[in-house]
Amino acid sequence: MALSLIFTRKAGVIHSRILLPKGASEAFLDRSTLWNEVERVEKHKDAQLAREVEFALP
C-alpha cells in the first residue's frame, strides 16, 4: 500500500528551503528529484527519511 502526502496547500508556511551539504549535486534542489532518490536508496523499513526544523523569530 503506497502512501502519498501532498503539503503544497499547507497554510502558514512563509518560507521553505532545501539545504545541501558541500559537494552535493544541485539536482537535489528539485524536491521531486531529492525525495525520489531518498526513497530509492533507503532500505530500512523504520528509517527516518527527513527532519523538520521550525524557527520562531521575534
User: pLDDT grade, residue 7 (50/70/90)?
Assistant: low
C-alpha cell recorded at residue 53? 526544523
> How do residues 24-39 score in pLDDT, each as one tens digit?
999 999 989 998 998 8
Please state the rounded mean pLDDT for residues 2-30: 82
Give 19-42 as a DSSP string: ---TT--GGGGSHHHHHHHHHHH-
